[in-house]
């Protein structure tokens, strides 16, 4: 496994653009938010996508239109992360399937092409979560696989995509499968992890980003309690 002092060493002479593709409004917050924040603070242009509004998530306050509330929370979290733009694709939470996967891929491609326009001297990355969806949630799997498919299709067309980073859980955190919800595979081995980003320098901001998703506060608090300061350590495997 490569431990990389990523943001003290990383330099680039090209404009860097990241497209973060996620299924629900809190996925990037509970996942690689530290890495995304460090990227934007270094000047990276970040465009975030949520496929759904998360309207079928937990609703402890009994909101009539939970999806609308969660999108507002997402906008607050996106502002904290430093996103340049946010895009809600409007699919129904918990229903994504193969046909959606094909359509979502095409929409990601269109978004990338429209966003970069005629810009030159740029490099483009994508970011999503593990191809197994981390938790096994089908929406997560559709999000990550659509992002990867769009990545390879755009790269084949000559667009300057460099890599796609897929946020994953290491084996040390999850040595055994979890079957409490849907099937959640054990974490990835050291050999499978290509990059580890330590974003501890922005740990207080990461807590703020997680807590911006107030309706999902129980999940967020469990996440913080389970990982502690480890929420600032992001693991990725990388496809190029």
Residue in the block written with tokens 């693991």:
235
Residue 8: the pLDDT is: 44
Q: Full-prediction pTM beyond 0.85?
A: yes
User: For residue range 120-135, what is the model confidence (pLDDT) as tens digits?
Assistant: 999 999 999 999 999 9
Q: How far is CA 52 from the centre of its chain?
A: 13
pLDDT at 5 over 50: no
**How far apart are the C-alpha atoms of 210 and 30, rounded to whole Å?**
6
Domains observed in the chain: 6-239 (3.40.50.10320)
The token pair that represents 193 in the structure block = 């992890």
8-17, 53-62, 89-98, 195-204, range with the lowest pLDDT: 8-17
At 22, which helix (H) or strand (E)? strand 15-22
Residue 14: the pLDDT is: 87
The token pair that represents 110 in the structure block = 């269109």
pLDDT class of 2 with cuts at 50, 70, 90: low
**How far apart are the C-alpha atoms of 180 and 49, rounded to whole Å?**
28
Residue 212: the pLDDT is: 98
Can you list the pairs that 42-45 forms with residues at least 24 positions away whose Cβ atoms lie under 8 Å? 42/7, 42/10, 43/16, 44/16, 44/17, 44/18, 45/15, 45/16, 45/17, 45/18, 45/84
Instruction: Check: CB of residue 205 under 8 Å from CB of residue 77.
Output: no
Q: 178 pairs with which residues across the strands?
A: 184
User: For residue range 64-117, what is the model confidence (pLDDT) as tens digits?
Assistant: 999 999 999 999 999 999 999 999 999 999 999 999 999 999 999 999 999 999
- Return the HEC string of 42-89: CCCEEEEEEEECCCCCCCCCCCCCHHHHHHHHHHHHHHHHCCCEEEEE
Instruction: Check: CB of residue 169 under 8 Å from CB of residue 213.
Output: no
**Nearest-5° angle of CA 78, CA 86, CA 100?**
125
């Amino acid at each position: 496994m490569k431990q990389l002092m990523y943001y003290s060493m990383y330099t680039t002479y090209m404009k860097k653009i990241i497209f973060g593709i996620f299924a629900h409004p809190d996925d990037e917050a509970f996942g690689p938010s530290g890495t995304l924040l460090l990227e934007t603070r270094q000047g990276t242009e970040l465009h975030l996508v949520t496929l759904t509004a998360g309207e079928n998530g937990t609703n402890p306050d009994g909101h009539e239109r939970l999806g609308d509330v969660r999108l507002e929370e997402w906008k607050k979290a996106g502002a904290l992360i430093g996103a340049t733009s946010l895009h809600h694709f409007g699919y129904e939470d918990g229903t994504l399937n193969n046909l959606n996967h094909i359509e979502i891929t095409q929409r990601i491609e269109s978004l990338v092409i429209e966003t970069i326009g005629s810009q030159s001297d740029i490099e483009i990355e994508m970011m999503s979560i593990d191809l197994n969806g981390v938790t096994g949630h089908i929406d997560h799997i559709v999000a990550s696989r659509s992002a990867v498919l769009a990545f390879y299709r755009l790269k084949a067309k000559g667009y300057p995509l460099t890599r796609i980073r897929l946020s994953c859980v290491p084996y040390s955190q999850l040595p055994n499968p979890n079957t409490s919800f849907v099937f959640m595979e054990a974490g990835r081995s050291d050999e499978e992890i290509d990059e580890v980003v330590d974003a501890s320098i922005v740990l207080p901001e990461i807590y703020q980003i997680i807590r911006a998703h107030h309706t999902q506060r129980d999940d967020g608090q469990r996440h913080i309690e389970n990982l502690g300061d480890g929420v600032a350590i992001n693991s990725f495997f990388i496809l190029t």
